[in-house]
Copies of this chain bind each other. A is one copy, B any other.
Amino acid sequence: MQTQNKYIYLVIVVCHIILYCTSITEQSVLRFEAPHPFEPQSAINLSPPPPVVFVTKTFTSQIDHFSFNPYLGSFRVRYLINDTYYQPGSPILFYTGNEGRIEAFANNTLIMWQMAPVINAALVFVEHRYYGNSMPFGDHSMDNASTLAYLTAEQALADFAYFLTNLKYLEPRLVAKRSPVIAIGGSYGGMLSAWMRQKYPHLVQGALASSAPVLQFINVTSCYAFSAAVSNAFTKASPNCSANIRKSWSAIDRTAASGQSGLLKLSKIFATCSPLTSKSDVNGLKAWIVSAYVTAAMVNYPYPASFLLPLPAWPVASICRPISSVASVSDKSNNDDISLLSAVSAGLNRYYYNYTGGVACLNLTVDPSSATLDDRGWGAQSCNEMVMPDSCANGITDMLQPTGDFDLEAYTASCLSQFGIRPRPNWVMTQFAGAVDPIACSNIFYANGDLDPWAPGGVKTSPNPSCPAELMKNAAHHLDLRAADARDPPDVARIRKLQWQAVQRWCKHFHQSVANANNDHAVWNRHLK
C-alpha cells in the first residue's frame, strides 16, 4: 500500500514521430470519402516541444453514470485543450487523466506537444474525478465512504466517454465524427487508456498504454515481483550495490539493537532531523529508504529530470556509486555496519533527497517523491477496487527489507478503519481483463520498461498482433511517454517508431471505416456528428 500510494504521479510523453499524416485536403474533409492519407515518411527529427499552452474548461458529468439515483446530481470535470494545430479530420490525442491534477500530465507529456504540430493534432487532457478540481462533492468529496463511493475507474472512463460523445457541443472545432481519437496514458493512466479502448472502442480508435500494470492483481501477478524488479534495476547498475543494500537491513537492526547509543549512531549516520528513539522509528527509517529505492527505480531516466523530485541522470546508478564502493561487508563487524550504512546514507543524500543541495537533514515524515502531487484520492481507490499487492519482499529474490505475504484480511481491516470501504480485490480483473483477451483485443499498444518495477504487472506478451506488448530495454516507468531526447536508450526510439506506426494504422482504419457509409457504424457516427 505504501508503494501504491506513491504510484506513478506523473505521466509524460507519447511516441516518437517517424512518419506523419499529411494534412487532409478540403475535398476529403467535405466529401468524407477518401481515407485520411497517412503517408509513411522516413524518420523525422522532432523540434523541441512548443510551449505548453492550453485552455482550461469544464463539462458537466453524472456523479453516478450507472445508476439513476435521483439524489445524485452532476458535477464539473475539468479538461485542458489545445487546438492550435488541429484541422478537421486529423487526430485528437486524448490523455486519460489519472491520479493527480491534470496540469501535471499536460506539463509532463511533452511528446504530445512535439507531435501535435506535425500531425495537426488536437490535444485534450481530461482530469480524473476526485483529483485536482474535478470534485463530485466539492470540498466534501473526500469526507467519508459515501462521498468517496464514486471514485472508480469505471466512473472515470464513463466521464471520458460522455465527454467524447459530447465533443461536438463542447468543442465545435473538433469534428469528432471525422477525427480518430487516440487514448494515451502512463501508469494508471495507461491502464485507463487500455480499458477505454476495450470498453468504448467506438469512441477511442486506439490506445497507447505505457507502463500500465493491468495485471498487478491478486492471483495474477506475484506480490513479490515488484520488489524483485526494483532490485534488478539496482543489480543492473551494480551487482555489489544490491548485494550491499540487501545486507544493510540487518546492519540497521544490529546497530539499533545496541540500545540508545545505537539509535543515536543511526540518527547521526542518516542525519535524521529528529533522533530515532524507538524500534518503530527504525522501522520508519527502513520504510523511507525502501520507498526511496522504489522511486529511484521508477524514474531511473537517462538524463537529469524533476518529475517526482529533482534527480540526476540514471539516479539508481548514482545512488549505487557510494554503496557499491563498500567491498564485501562481513555481516558481523560493527565497523563494517557503520561503513555500509554511511555509504547508503551518502548515496541517498547526494543523489536522492538532497541532490540539488540545501536539505540540512533527513526528514522521515516527508516523502520527497510525493511533495508536489495531489494524489490524495489514491488511498481510497486502492481500498475499493485497485487492490494491487506489490510491496511484498523476501530479501532473496529482492534486496529489500523482508515483509510477510500479502495479508488481505489485514488490508481489508485497514481499509475499513481508514475509509469505511471494503475492498473488492477481484473486481478489476472481472471488469477489465478483456483488455488482454487474445481474440477480442484490438488497437492497444502495451509498452513497458525493463528497469521499471511496474513492468512485471504489465502485459508481457502480445495478446495478438493488434495489441503488441513491447519491452523497452534500459527504460524506466513510461520513458516512452517523455519527450524524445538524444540521451534516450536506442530501444526507446525503436518502441516509439512501432507506437507511431500503430497510431498511423489506427487512424487509417478509422478513416476507411467511416468512409464506408454503408454500415451501421456510419449510422452511429451520424449520431455522433
Residue on B nearest A518 in the bound complex, by CB: B461
**Of B202, B384, B421, which one neighbours A437 at CB under 8 angstroms?**
B202
Given A436-B520, A439-B205, A66:B513 Cβ within 8 A = no
**Of B158, B162, B429, B460, which one neighbours A524 at CB under 8 angstroms?**
B429
Interface of A is mostly: loop
**Of B66, B161, B162, B420, which one neighbours A152 at CB under 8 angstroms?**
B66
Residues of B within 8 A of A519 (CB): 438, 461-463
Residues of B within 8 A of A201 (CB): 198, 434, 437, 439-441
Report Cα–Cα, A509/B439, bound state, in Å: 8
Does A426 reach chain B (CB closer than 8 Å)? yes
Report Cα–Cα, A519/B424, bound state, in Å: 25
Binary per-residue interface labels of chain A (54-73) against chain B in the complex, 1 for a CB within 8 Å, 0 otherwise: 00000000101111111100
The stretch of A82-90, A142-150, A331-339, A401-409 that contacts the partner chain: A142-150
Does A523 reach chain B (CB closer than 8 Å)? yes
Binary per-residue interface labels of chain A (415-436) against chain B in the complex, 1 for a CB within 8 Å, 0 otherwise: 0000011101011011101101
Report Cα–Cα, A203/B165, bound state, in Å: 27
Q: Which of A161, A201, A217, A429 gathers the greatest number of chain B CB atoms within 10 Å?
A: A201
**Contact (Cβ within 8 A) B521 A438:** yes
Report Cα–Cα, A65/B153, bound state, in Å: 12
Residue on B nearest A459 in the bound complex, by CB: B520
A386 to chain B, nearest CB (A): 11
**Contact (Cβ within 8 A) B527 A220:** yes
A339 to chain B, nearest CB (A): 44
Residues of B within 8 A of A434 (CB): 199-203
**Of B385, B433, B442, B524, which one neighbours A436 at CB under 8 angstroms?**
B524
Residue on B nearest A426 in the bound complex, by CB: B165
Does A155 reach chain B (CB closer than 8 Å)? yes
Report Cα–Cα, A198/B431, bound state, in Å: 12
Report Cα–Cα, A69/B427, bound state, in Å: 15
Given A219-B527, A527-B219, A66:B421 Cβ within 8 A = no
Residues of B within 8 A of A70 (CB): 145-146, 149, 420-422
Residues of B within 8 A of A469 (CB): 520
Does A215 reach chain B (CB closer than 8 Å)? yes
Q: Which of A64, A165, A202, A520 gathers the greatest number of chain B CB atoms within 10 Å?
A: A520
**Contact (Cβ within 8 A) B68 A152:** yes
Does A232 reach chain B (CB closer than 8 Å)? no
Residue on B nearest A513 in the bound complex, by CB: B438
Report Cα–Cα, A457/B313, bound state, in Å: 59
Does A154 reach chain B (CB closer than 8 Å)? yes
Residues of B within 8 A of A215 (CB): 520, 523-524
Pairs A-B, 10 closest by C-beta atoms: A201-B440, A66-B66, A69-B149, A438-B513, A202-B433, A70-B145, A67-B149, A68-B384, A201-B434, A165-B430
* A residues apposed to B, CB below 8 Å: 62, 64-71, 145-146, 148-152, 154-155, 158, 161-162, 165, 197-203, 205, 215, 217, 219-221, 384-385, 420-422, 424, 426-427, 429-431, 433-434, 436-443, 459-463, 469, 509-510, 513, 516, 518-521, 523-524, 526-527
